A and B are shown apart, each in its own frame.
Chain A
Amino acid sequence: MGDMFGAIGISASGMAAERLRMDVTSDNLANADSTKGANGLPYQRQEVVLQAGGQSFSDALGNAQAGVQVSGIVNDPTPDRQVYDPGNPDANAQGYVTMPNVNTVTEMTDLITESRSYEADTQAMNTAKELYLKTLDVLR
């Protein structure tokens, strides 16, 4: 049987996942032009991989809805961009600089998706809260 606190927890898991995605997107944007990371190589774009929660056998039996979980943050294998900028200290002999594989347009659209999904989760959480209060009302 479902319960409202479960619904609130599910929405919270969605909000946490979207927040993490926003953090990673911001990191990608901030490092869109970082030609040297801690390892001396250009920054590599990162992506959050999400998976539906509650894959355990007992959850499957009880048909429990268990929200979403982060399965990991992975590097995007897309090749780096080559930009001609001979004045850059990181330029190679031909004058090309290896820039991170970050596309600002992709990041901005991701940011919009993440923020909308976060809002939708907030809305669902508010609805659950209201329904819970309505239930208490019956007892008055």
Chain B
Amino acid sequence: MGLFDLTDLVVERSLAGASQRQEVLANNLANANTAGFKRSDVDFESSLASALGSGNPAAAVAGVSFQPKVDNASPTQADGNNVNMETEMSGLTENAVEYETLTEIEKNRMAMLSSAIGGGA
């Protein structure tokens, strides 16, 4: 095993997923007044969960990619747009908290690693 284990890999992929979700939700907001635009969202958590549940989690997690899904189910306005300000803003907040938690976890793991390297000195 190298310096970084499966947990580090999962945290890294989750951060990538969360930053992609930030992009997708920001894109929804930017297109809040574009006629005919349909909102998208990324469910990176379930993609990661199924990768972790597979036979070879390390390889599956390393190779996981997240696809934004177009949401056709949300109520659509007269101009064909289904962006909902509240949904996007709460999604962004939720995503930001998740991202911060993940960076905090990775920070702690880095600190542990550096204290192990330094022999606790």
Contact = CB atoms under 8 A, between A and B. Distances in A.
Q: How large is the interface on B (under 10, 10 to 19, 20 to 34, 35 or more residues)?
A: 35 or more
B30 A13 contact: yes
Q: Is the interface of B mostly helix, strand, loop or mixed?
A: helix
A45 interface: no
B26 A124 contact: yes
Among B30, B37, B85, chain A packs the most CB atoms within 10 A around the CB of B30
B72 interface: no
A32 interface: no
Contacts, number: 112
Interface in A33-77: 49-52, 63, 65-68
A117 B22 contact: no
B48 interface: no
Given A7-B19, A52-B37, A120-B89, A138 B26 contact: no
Contact of B29 (A3, A120, A140): A120
Q: How large is the interface on A (under 10, 10 to 19, 20 to 34, 35 or more residues)?
A: 35 or more
A41 B29 CA distance: 38
B103 A137 contact: yes
Interface of A: 1-4, 6-7, 10-11, 13-14, 17-18, 21, 49-52, 63, 65-68, 113-114, 116-117, 120-121, 123-125, 127-128, 130-131, 134-135, 137-138, 140
Interface of B: 15-16, 18-27, 29-35, 37, 40, 67-68, 85, 88-89, 92-93, 95-96, 99-100, 103, 106-107, 110
Given A121-B29, A131-B22, A131-B99, 8 more contacts: A52-B27, A65-B68, A67-B31, A124-B25, A124-B29, A124-B92, A127-B96, A131-B96
